[in-house]
């Protein structure tokens, strides 16, 4: 989604802002712009990639020591130079950038036009610039307060004015905003990686807070004007983690980081005997003993992790577990109640629908557990309990390592719950723990052997449609494999339970149609083999993901992607890895923008 960057200090603001915007590129955007106070507010903005903006700045440079910048992902108004942020008021003295959506956009637009304001763009953001200007009476913070008082919606708003030339004012309502503290300079960004190479000390701005930023630091107040004390958060992430390393794409780098990610997710949390410590999971044993239903809510890849989680919890704990898309759950009047546990899964911790579903569930009396990758994210702050996935910053829009860490997090959670309810006895807990500890080395071996994956990618590269099938946990993995393929290779792909094929989709299976089957679950192995035979009989080309000990599947599948054998419950962690690589290699063969697929954003902070 949109990225925000701001700087005030004594250095040249433009390169610092441009650098920050480039580090936010992974969020997805369609135009970019900067405003610098260079003897007055000056704006440069351009549709397209940041390079276009850089070229513009080369022709018409901006020099100054205070500025703001933005990468826009269109919501109100198409991507264009005019709709790109920043936006100014008519005088050009007030300038704003903004993430999110102003819901009463139409009313405000009509009000402003009726008062004689001429609007130059189609955006909701421009309205805010005019509102701030109209409300200004000698105090920028007060003007911003009055302006946001009139605006409904979810946003992060950043304002700069020539009237108070050494100050940036920002307000947060749902969309994320952080302040980075330097020596005689202060940064503002929509997320931490934008300025992590410049400072490690951050203030996280919360909902309904206003922050006044100067070179000397930042003062946080509530939107009503009450002072707020905020502890400085020191971030230990390695700045290198946010770089591509030696890999061609962030996605590939992140796939190869997965053994380390599993190790990291487990570190200090799991004993050989299956005892689990989760530092920020605070519920007590009584709560667990009386636990009603476990609800899992999430979107996209995180939802697919939840599909795996549902089966883990049901099988291990014998507790009713429901997984719901967050954007469905929030409108479905769910039967969530006190005594239930809601697990909201989100890499970013900022997905608008997931936040809304989580808040709804919390409001209905459940305990809310955030399974998230981002420390200090909104979801983590909303939650009663937090399980950080510790996957490190994920840059590629297509999620890989965060998904794997979400799976591992759910195994840990199941072990923790099962130890209290008694559903998992000591022997079983130890068995699962040992299986989990073997996973990093096993994933490593999958990453070493990629010849078959390359052959499978060549088979899919020119396909029109691909179908993924599996049963039980294999079906959950097939869902993720299919999403990964479609989002980065733009190939039409669908996943379904293997048993569902003959209820309709089989009509589409003809000679040469590729079918990817995930086949690890021994209890339904023969059933899945029957489905493979059905599609083979119709001339399909079959790629299978199977254990390296499986001697049967080679008789039916054209290509077998082998994974190390585990107990079936743990198979999803290994099984998804060849599918991630398959998607990556297909997209590469098709010459696509792998890390930033068209129309998609890393963090979907609007509905
Ligand atoms: C796909 C992908 C998306 C996200 C989804 C939820 O690769 O990354 O489907 O999983 O937008 O995002 P988070 O996990 O940040 O809530």
CA distances 148 to 6, 415, 464, 601, Å, are: 19, 46, 48, 26
What sign does the CA torsion over 553, 555, 558, 563 have?
positive
What are the residues facing 234 on neighbouring strands? Answer: 201
Atom of ligand 1 nearest to the CA of 484: 7
Share of the chain above pLDDT 70, in %: 97
Collect all residues with Cβ–Cβ distance below 8 Å to 259 and sequence separation of at least 6.
Answer: 439, 440, 441, 443, 444, 447
Q: Is the pLDDT of residue 371 over 90?
A: yes
Choose one of 300, 349, 383, 490 to mutate for the ligand 1 pocket test, by most ligand atoms within 8 angstroms of C-beta.
300
Q: Is the pLDDT of residue 459 over 80?
A: yes
Atom of ligand 1 nearest to the CA of 400: 7
User: Can you give the pTM of this predicted structure?
Assistant: 0.73
Confidence of residue 244 (pLDDT cuts 50, 70, 90): low
Q: Which residue has the tokens 């079959």?
A: 542
Q: Cα–Cα distance between 480 and 489 in angstroms, integer?
A: 14
Ligand 1 centroid–CA 399 distance in Å is 7
**pLDDT attached to residue 131:** 96
Residue nearest atom 10 of ligand 1, based on CA coordinates: 301
H-helix or E-strand spanning residue 213: strand 209-214
Q: Where in the chain is the domain with CATH 3.40.50.10490?
A: 252-446, 449-589
Atom of ligand 1 nearest to the CA of 304: 10
Choose one of 399, 406, 579, 603 to mutate for the ligand 1 pocket test, by most ligand atoms within 8 angstroms of C-beta.
399
Residue nearest atom 8 of ligand 1, based on CA coordinates: 399
Ligand 1 centroid–CA 239 distance in Å is 23
CB atoms closer than 10 angstroms to residue 510: 11
Ligand 1 centroid–CA 366 distance in Å is 24
Q: Assign 258 to helix, strand or coil.
A: helix
Atom of ligand 1 nearest to the CA of 398: 7
Give phi and psi for 44, each to the nearest 5.
-130, 130
Residue nearest atom 16 of ligand 1, based on CA coordinates: 346
Ligand 1 centroid–CA 349 distance in Å is 10
**CATH H-level superfamily of 449-589:** Glucose-6-phosphate isomerase like protein; domain 1 (3.40.50.10490)
What sign does the CA torsion over 171, 151, 140, 15 have?
positive
Collect all residues with Cβ–Cβ distance below 8 Å to 243 and sequence separation of at least 6.
Answer: none
Q: Which of 163, 186, 48 is nearest to 95 (CA)?
A: 163
Residue nearest atom 7 of ligand 1, based on CA coordinates: 398
Pocket of ligand 1 (CB under 6 A): 299-302, 346-348, 351, 354, 398-399, 487, 603-604
Ligand 1 centroid–CA 128 distance in Å is 30
User: What string of DSSP letters covers 333-387?
Assistant: -----TT-EEEEEESSS--HHHHHHHHHHHHTT-EEEEEESSTT-HHHHH-SEEE
Contact 173, 350 (CB under 8 A): no
**pLDDT attached to residue 240:** 54
Collect all residues with Cβ–Cβ distance below 8 Å to 401 and sequence separation of at least 6.
Answer: 254, 255, 257, 258, 261, 391, 392, 394
Q: Cα–Cα distance between 475 and 391 in angstroms, integer?
A: 24
Q: Which of 579, 581, 525 is nearest to 556 (CA)?
A: 525
**pLDDT attached to residue 67:** 98
Give phi and psi for 146, each to the nearest 5.
-65, -35
pLDDT mean across residues, the chain: 93
Active site residues per annotation:
2, 602
The residue ranking higher by pLDDT, 181 or 101, is 181
Q: Cα–Cα distance between 265 and 392 in angstroms, integer?
A: 10
Q: Which of 36, 28, 43 is nearest to 83 (CA)?
A: 43
Q: Assign 322 to helix, strand or coil.
A: strand
- Give the end-to-end CA distance of the chain in Å, rounded to a whole number: 11
Choose one of 27, 301, 584 to mutate for the ligand 1 pocket test, by most ligand atoms within 8 angstroms of C-beta.
301
Reported as a single tens digit per residue, the pLDDT across 195-232 is 998 999 999 999 899 999 999 999 999 999 999 999 99
**pLDDT attached to residue 176:** 80
Residue nearest atom 5 of ligand 1, based on CA coordinates: 300
Q: For the sheet with 201-204, list strands across it.
A: 41-47, 31-37, 66-72, 3-8, 186-189, 178-181, 201-204, 233-234
Average pLDDT over residues 436-462: 95
Would you give the distance in Å from CA 308 to the centre of its chain?
18
Residue nearest atom 9 of ligand 1, based on CA coordinates: 300
Q: How many CA atoms lie within 13 A of 47 on its CB side?
A: 8
Q: Cα–Cα distance between 272 and 426 in angstroms, integer?
A: 11
Atom of ligand 1 nearest to the CA of 379: 16
**pLDDT attached to residue 245:** 53
Ligand 1 centroid–CA 351 distance in Å is 8
What is the token pair recorded at 219? Answer: 């003062």
Ligand 1 centroid–CA 321 distance in Å is 21
Atom of ligand 1 nearest to the CA of 604: 11
Architecture category of domain 252-446 in CATH: 3-Layer(aba) Sandwich (3.40)
Q: Which of 440, 437, 418 is nearest to 429 (CA)?
A: 418
What is the token pair recorded at 389? Answer: 């996935």
Confidence of residue 113 (pLDDT cuts 50, 70, 90): very high
CA distances 516 to 252, 498, 575, Å, are: 21, 10, 12
Q: Alpha-carbon dihedral of residues 454, 457, 459, 462, nearest 10 degrees? A: -140
**pLDDT attached to residue 118:** 92
Give phi and psi for 217, each to the nearest 5.
145, -155
Ligand 1 centroid–CA 573 distance in Å is 18
Q: Assign 188 to helix, strand or coil.
A: strand
**pLDDT attached to residue 411:** 98
Choose one of 330, 347, 480 to mutate for the ligand 1 pocket test, by most ligand atoms within 8 angstroms of C-beta.
347
Under CATH, what is the fold of the domain 3-243?
3.60.20
Q: Where in the chain is the domain with CATH 3.60.20.10?
A: 3-243
Q: Assign 205 to helix, strand or coil.
A: coil
Choose one of 604, 605, 606, 607 to mutate for the ligand 1 pocket test, by most ligand atoms within 8 angstroms of C-beta.
604
Ligand 1 centroid–CA 113 distance in Å is 39
Atom of ligand 1 nearest to the CA of 354: 16
What is the token pair recorded at 523? Answer: 């209890």
Q: Is the pLDDT of residue 342 over 60?
A: yes
**pLDDT attached to residue 246:** 61
Q: Which of 1, 73, 24 is nearest to 393 (CA)?
A: 24
Q: Is the pLDDT of residue 75 over 70?
A: no
Reported as a single tens digit per residue, the pLDDT across 549-606 is 999 999 999 999 999 999 999 999 999 999 999 999 999 999 998 998 988 887 787 7
Ligand 1 centroid–CA 175 distance in Å is 16
Reported as a single tens digit per residue, the pLDDT across 41-73 is 999 999 999 999 999 999 999 999 999 999 987
Q: Cα–Cα distance between 586 and 571 in angstroms, integer?
A: 23
């Amino acid at each position: 989604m949109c990225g925000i960057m701001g700087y005030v200090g004594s250095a040249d603001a433009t390169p610092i802002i441009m650098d920050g915007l480039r580090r936010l590129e992974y969020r997805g955007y369609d135009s970019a712009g900067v405003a610098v106070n260079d003897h007055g507010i000056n704006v440069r903005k351009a549709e397209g990639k940041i390079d276009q903006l850089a070229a513009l700045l080369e022709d018409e440079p901006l020099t100054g020591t205070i500025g703001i910048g933005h990468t826009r992902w269109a919501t109100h108004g198409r991507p264009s130079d005019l709709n790109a942020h920043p936006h100014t008021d008519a005088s050009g003295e007030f300038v704003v950038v903004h993430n999110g959506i102003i819901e009463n956009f139409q009313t405000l637009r009509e009000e402003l036009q009726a008062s004689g304001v001429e609007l130059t763009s189609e955006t909701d953001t421009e309205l805010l610039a005019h509102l701030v200007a109209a409300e200004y009476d000698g105090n920028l913070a007060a003007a911003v307060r009055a302006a946001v008082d009139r605006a409904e919606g979810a946003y992060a708003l950043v304002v700069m004015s020539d009237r108070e030339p050494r100050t940036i004012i920002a307000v947060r309502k749902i969309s994320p905003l952080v302040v980075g503290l330097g020596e005689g300079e202060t940064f503002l960004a929509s997320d931490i990686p934008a300025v992590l190479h410049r400072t490690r000390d951050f203030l996280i701005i919360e909902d309904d807070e206003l922050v006044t930023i100067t070179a000397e630091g930042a003062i946080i107040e509530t939107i009503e004007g009450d002072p707020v004390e905020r502890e400085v958060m020191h971030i230990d992430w390695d700045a290198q983690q946010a770089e591509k390393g030696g890999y061609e794409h962030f996605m590939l780098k992140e796939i190869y980081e997965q053994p380390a990610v599993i190790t990291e997710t487990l570190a200090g949390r799991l004993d050989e005997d299956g005892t689990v410590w989760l530092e920020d999971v605070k519920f007590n044993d009584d709560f667990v003993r009386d636990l009603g239903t476990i609800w899992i809510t999430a979107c996209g890849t995180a939802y697919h992790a939840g599909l795996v989680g549902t089966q883990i919890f049901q099988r291990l704990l014998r507790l009713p577990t429901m997984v719901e898309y967050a954007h469905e759950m929030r409108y479905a009047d769910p039967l969530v109640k006190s005594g239930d546990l809601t697990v909201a899964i989100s890499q970013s911790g900022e997905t608008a629908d997931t936040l809304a579903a989580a808040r709804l569930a919390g409001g209905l009396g459940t305990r809310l557990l955030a399974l998230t990758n981002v420390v200090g994210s909104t979801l983590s702050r909303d939650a009663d309990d937090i399980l950080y996935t510790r996957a490190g910053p994920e840059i590629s829009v297509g999620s890989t390592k965060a998904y794997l860490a979400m799976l591992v997090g759910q195994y840990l959670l199941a072990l923790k719950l099962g130890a209290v309810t008694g559903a998992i006895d000591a022997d079983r807990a130890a068995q699962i723990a040992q299986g989990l500890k073997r996973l990093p080395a096993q994933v490593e071996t999958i990453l070493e052997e990629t010849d078959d994956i390359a052959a499978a990618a060549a088979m899919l590269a020119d396909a029109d449609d691909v179908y993924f099938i599996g049963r039980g946990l294999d079906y959950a993995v097939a869902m993720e494999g299919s999403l990964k393929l479609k989002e980065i290779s733009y190939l039409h792909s669908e996943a379904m339970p293997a048993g569902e094929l003959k209820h309709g989709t089989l009509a589409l299976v003809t000679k040469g149609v590729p079918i990817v089957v995930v086949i690890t679950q021994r209890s339904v192995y023969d059933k899945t083999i029957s489905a493979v035979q059905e599609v083979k009989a119709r001339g399909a080309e079959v790629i299978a993901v199977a254990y390296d000990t499986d001697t049967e599947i080679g008789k039916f599948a054209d290509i077998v992607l082998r994974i190390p054998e585990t107990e079936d419950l743990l198979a999803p962690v290994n099984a998804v890895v060849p599918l991630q690589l398959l998607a990556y290699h297909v997209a590469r063969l098709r010459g696509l923008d792998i890390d930033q697929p068209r129309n998609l954003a890393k963090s979907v902070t609007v509905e």
